[in-house]
């Protein structure tokens, strides 16, 4: 019923007088519907009528000597009446709405998911050559044809599909897995040490061990040789294989200044709004400069959707937060913890050892900087296979 009032015209009417009950009774007998009747503290009644019944009710109120006043008019008819003599203005929102619907069939934003070694720019450039890109229609994309052509252009692709939702396209990529490197077991090889260490245990699968448990070896020294000599003194070459585990020691240090600069917000903030239509940006502000000497800029976009599809319209909110740089001293314990974590991360990257069996740290302050030294022992596989 409320929708019917809005579609035609709804009038908010206030009635006050001693004969008010009789007037309401006359309205009921006359078949004049009303909605949301409310009585105020002064005894007046406000109610909502359809626009075509207002004149009749005003005549009844005059006959009953009831004071009647129109408070407001609402609804489509009332809205359109404001444009009387300016009907061309009504075409503006219609044209804009039609343009938005038409533009929503085109791609204005592309996301790429699943790529590891292939770059996003490389994928988008290849798609652009095939007619899939910003500003192109997303209604007639042949995924099978696009996939086969993209596999020709980019040999690393094993699968690709383009999913379009309104004006946003998502490119799902699966890269081809490279086959593992084949080992030619007929190729004569030796196993050498990649680090200096103390042999702890060893397992020789093929070849002859040149070292034994407890020996100290240098980086590059042969651990397992592929040259075998028989009793007659003849040499036969084989593909040496095996695992050599050794205790390896590492030493490293890291430094950090004791004084550093932090950002402290002043509480001053400014927010600016803009509307982004396709690739065009319309700023909703006039002053272009920011008076803050130092500030952080935080920007977010809100995309609009219609019937479950994204439209090429976004509301852009940009917030500027002023801060002042403040010089602060570094807490020694905090600095030591941070540098120790960095040294352990370096150790894992260099040695592959996730957790050293033994480690120790020493710290000192020199010339305004915190220095942390690390000594660590790892047990790791040091054997590396090379051709003879």
Q: What are phi and psi of 317, to 5 degrees?
A: -115, 125
- Average pLDDT of the segment spanning 121-150: 86
Give the pLDDT band (50/70/90) at residue 99.
Answer: low
| Contact criterion met (CB below 8 Å) for 158 and 176 | yes
Q: Which alpha helices (DSSP H) does 210-366 contain, by range?
A: 332-351
Give the pLDDT band (50/70/90) at residue 1.
Answer: very low
Give the angle subtended at the CA of 314 by the CAs of 311 and 316, to the nearest 5°: 175
H or E segment and range at residue 247: strand 241-257
Bridge partner list, 208? 225
Q: Calculate the average pLDDT of the chain.
A: 83
Could you tell me how far CA 158 lies from the centroid of its own chain?
A: 25
Q: Which alpha helices (DSSP H) does the chain contain, by range?
A: 2-7, 20-29, 54-63, 76-81, 91-103, 120-129, 143-153, 332-351
Residue identified by tokens 């009032």 is 5
pLDDT digits (tens, 9 = 90+) for 226-249: 888 877 778 888 999 999 999 999
pLDDT digits (tens, 9 = 90+) for 318-337: 999 999 998 888 889 999 99
**Is 50 exceeded by the pLDDT of residue 210?**
yes
- Average pLDDT of the segment spanning 119-137: 86
- Average pLDDT of the segment spanning 48-56: 79
**Is 70 exceeded by the pLDDT of residue 88?**
no
* Of 149 and 278, more confident: 149
pLDDT of res. 85 = 57
In Å, how far are 1, 26, 37 from 57, measured between CA atoms? 19, 9, 14
pLDDT digits (tens, 9 = 90+) for 31-50: 888 777 888 877 888 888 87
- Average pLDDT of the segment spanning 247-260: 91
**Is 70 exceeded by the pLDDT of residue 96?**
no
pLDDT of res. 291 = 81
* Of 106 and 148, more confident: 148
**Dist. CA 282–CA 316, nearest whole Å:** 10
Rg, the chain, Cα only:
40
**Is 70 exceeded by the pLDDT of residue 383?**
yes
Closest CA to 218 of 238, 192, 189, 179: 192
Q: How far apart are the first and last CA of the chain?
A: 93
Whole-model pTM? 0.48
Q: Which residues make up the CATH 3.10.20.310 domain(s) of the chain?
A: 87-182
pLDDT of res. 245 = 93
- Average pLDDT of the segment spanning 246-256: 93
Name the CATH code of domain 87-182 (choices 3.30.70.1710, 3.30.830.10, 3.10.20.310, 3.40.50.300): 3.10.20.310
pLDDT of res. 78 = 56
pLDDT digits (tens, 9 = 90+) for 299-318: 998 877 766 666 777 899 99
Range from 71-75, 193-197, 259-263 carrying the lowest mean pLDDT: 71-75
pLDDT digits (tens, 9 = 90+) for 145-195: 888 889 888 888 888 999 888 778 899 999 888 776 776 777 899 999 999
Q: Domain 2-81: what homologous superfamily?
A: ACT domain (3.30.70.260)
Could you tell me how far CA 214 lies from the centroid of its own chain?
A: 53
**Dist. CA 320–CA 299, nearest whole Å:** 9
Q: Which residues make up the CATH 3.30.70.260 domain(s) of the chain?
A: 2-81
- Average pLDDT of the segment spanning 7-28: 80
* Of 373 and 41, more confident: 373
Q: Would you say how long the chain is, in residues? A: 388
Strand 222-225 to 208-209 pairing: antiparallel
**Dist. CA 249–CA 377, nearest whole Å:** 5
Q: Which residues contact 353 (CB under 8 A, 6 or more apart)?
A: 347, 378, 379, 380
| Percent with pLDDT over 90 in the chain | 28
């Amino acid at each position: 019923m409320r929708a019917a009032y809005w579609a035609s015209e709804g009038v908010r009417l206030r009635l006050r007088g001693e004969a008010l009950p009789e007037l309401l009774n006359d309205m009921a007998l006359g078949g004049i519907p009303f909605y949301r009747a409310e009585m105020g503290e002064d005894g007046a009644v406000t109610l909502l009528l359809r626009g075509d019944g207002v004149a009749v009710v005003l005549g009844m109120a005059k006959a009953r000597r009831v004071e009647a006043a129109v408070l407001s008019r609402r609804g489509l008819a009332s809205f359109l009446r404001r444009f009387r003599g300016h009907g061309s203005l009504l075409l503006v929102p219609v044209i804009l709405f039609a343009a938005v619907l038409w533009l929503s069939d085109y791609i204005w934003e592309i996301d790429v998911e699943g790529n590891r070694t292939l770059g996003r720019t490389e994928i988008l450039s290849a798609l652009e050559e095939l007619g899939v890109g910003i500003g192109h229609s997303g209604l007639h994309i042949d995924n099978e044809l696009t996939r086969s052509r993209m596999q020709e252009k980019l040999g690393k692709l094993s699968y690709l599909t383009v999913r379009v939702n309104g004006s946003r396209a998502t490119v799902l990529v699966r890269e081809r897995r490279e086959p593992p490197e084949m080992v030619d077991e007929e190729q004569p090889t030796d196993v050498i040490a990649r680090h200096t260490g103390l042999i702890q245990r060893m397992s020789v699968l093929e070849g002859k061990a040149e070292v034994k448990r407890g020996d100290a070896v240098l980086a590059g020294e042969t651990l397992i040789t592929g040259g075998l000599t028989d009793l007659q003194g003849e040499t036969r070459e084989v593909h040496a294989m095996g695992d050599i585990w050794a205790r390896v020691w590492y030493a490293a240090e890291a430094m950090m200044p004791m004084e550093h600069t932090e950002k402290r917000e002043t509480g001053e903030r400014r927010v600016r709004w803009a509307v982004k239509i396709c690739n065009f940006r319309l700023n909703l502000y006039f002053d272009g400069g920011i008076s803050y000497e130092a500030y952080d800029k935080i920007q977010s976009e809100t995309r609009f959707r219609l019937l479950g599809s994204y439209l090429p319209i976004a509301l852009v909110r940009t917030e500027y937060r002023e801060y002042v740089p403040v010089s602060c001293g570094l807490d020694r314990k905090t600095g030591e913890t941070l540098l120790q974590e960095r040294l352990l991360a370096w150790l894992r990257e260099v040695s592959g050892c996730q957790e050293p069996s033994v480690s120790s740290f020493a710290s000192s302050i020199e010339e305004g900087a915190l220095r942390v030294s690390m000594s660590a022992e790892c047990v790791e596989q040091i054997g590396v296979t090379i051709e003879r």
